[in-house]
Amino acid sequence: MIRVAIIGAGIGAEYLTGYRALPERFQVAVMCDLDAARAETATGGDPDIAISGDLEAVLADASIDLVDICLPPHLHFPVAVQALEAGKHVICEKPIVRSLDEADRLQAAAEASGKSVFPVFQYRYGRAIAQLKALQAAGLAGKPYVASLETHWNRDADYYAVPWRGTWAGESGGALLGHAIHAHDILCHVLGPVAEVTALTDTRVNDIETEDCAALALRMENGALATSSVTLGAGEDTTRLRFCFAGLTAESGSAPYAPAQDAWRFIARAPVTQAEVDAVLEEAPHRHAGFAGYLDAVADALEGRGGNEVTLADGRRSIELVTAIYQSVQDRGPKLLPVSSESAFYRGWIPDQP
Ligand SMILES: NC(=O)c1ccc[n+]([C@@H]2O[C@H](COP(=O)([O-])OP(=O)(O)OC[C@H]3O[C@@H](n4cnc5c(N)ncnc54)[C@H](O)[C@@H]3O)[C@@H](O)[C@H]2O)c1
């Protein structure tokens, strides 16, 4: 049984639902937030979950194995390092850190502590992505040609009333860092790393510092081409993903926050037959979805049966892509990955004068 402290009772409340779906694996012992009433509401008054406003005391509690950081982005790196130094395993919300330099220092801290850090990309977990991965593993997808991604969500002034949001200092980025990062993780989960990106961004929807619209063109290391369209000014929230391979096309529905749990179409392309595709879809292994699926994979990894978890390398890869994207925006041109530690952007992308 892994004993957990959740730090931050906003999205932290959704984790609690995920942990409760896995009662044989996790026990949430503490909900920690500076806002005690918010923490209390998040637990629904559960008498088995202690409420705390004292992060230091939570980290000093020897009975806690895993600290789940659901704090605003500027606190991710310092609190994750603090938790590792206190001997805890760490789950940390996206964006895991605010630069490649921080990513590498976090990796060093994890190695020094002997503990694990799991960045969060729960959108990957669900039957449809498991099916797509199974089709790839079975050799039916074949050569990847193109992918198209849409993160078209709606966020208004109420959403940006939370002070850290929409600011370079508090959020470290806009829709590319905070929202489309999930679709971009799925892109890399399916097709591997990005080799080149050209990005256009603008702030067209809300009165904020950071971008809320973007158009990206990407070349993957495996040669596939991808496009990503992002806005926070859509009429309704939709996420749509489409992958065209030599042997099939995989197409999501439009469920915004759980694309892997949506009903996808997998359309065979000759000489691959629909019967071959359907046989793999039927057999694709799948346990839990969303946060529960993510946490199930974390528990497997902590028990020495890893392979399906989000790794720190995956988190670093997401930060490397964001770095190259903002570099492309600021330099107005295509950028090649990987980003070197000699790059001016290695220590961050936040513009001096936004
Ligand atoms: N994975 C996802 O789908 C998803 C969805 C939403 C948010 N997020 C991420 O989760 C993080 C938190 O987002 P949110 O929307 O829940 O933010 P939020 O501002 O609503 O909640 C953060 C909470 O942290 C608390 N807090 C701040 N400093 C603290 C401290 N020192 N000790 C204890 N508590 C402290 C605040 O009181 C607040 O209740 C962000 O990084 C965001 O990007 C991820």
Q: Indicate the domain borders of the chain.
A: 2-121, 123-302
For ligand 1, whether the C-beta of 142 sits within 6 Å is: no
Residues near 305 by Cβ (< 8 Å), separated by ≥ 6?
A: none
* CATH class label, 123-302: alpha beta
What CATH number is given for 2-121 in this structure? 3.40.50.720
List per-block mean pLDDT (blocks of 10 residues) for the chain, which spans 354 residues.
98 98 98 98 97 98 98 97 98 98 98 98 97 98 98 98 95 97 98 98 98 98 98 98 98 96 96 98 93 98 97 98 98 98 96 64
135-185 pLDDT, tens digit each: 999 999 999 999 999 999 999 999 999 999 999 999 999 999 999 999 999
Mean pLDDT of the chain: 97
223-242 pLDDT, tens digit each: 999 999 999 999 999 999 99
Distance of CA 164 from the midpoint of ligand 1 (Å) = 10
Please indicate, yes or no, whether the overall pTM of this predicted structure exceeds 0.75.
yes
Q: In what order do the strands lie in the sheet with 213-220?
A: 265-268, 248-251, 233-245, 144-154, 225-231, 213-220, 194-202, 335-336
Ligand 1 atom nearest to 11, measured from its CA: 16
Beta strands in 120-247 (DSSP E): 144-154, 194-202, 213-220, 225-231, 233-245
Distance of CA 242 from the midpoint of ligand 1 (Å) = 31
Distance of CA 237 from the midpoint of ligand 1 (Å) = 21
Rounded Cα gap, residues 232 and 3, in angstroms? 37
For ligand 1, whether the C-beta of 211 sits within 6 Å is: no
Ligand 1 atom nearest to 257, measured from its CA: 3
For ligand 1, whether the C-beta of 185 sits within 6 Å is: no
- What are the beta bridge partners of residue 69? 7, 92
For ligand 1, whether the C-beta of 317 sits within 6 Å is: no
**Collapsed DSSP state (helix, strand, coil) of residue 167:** coil
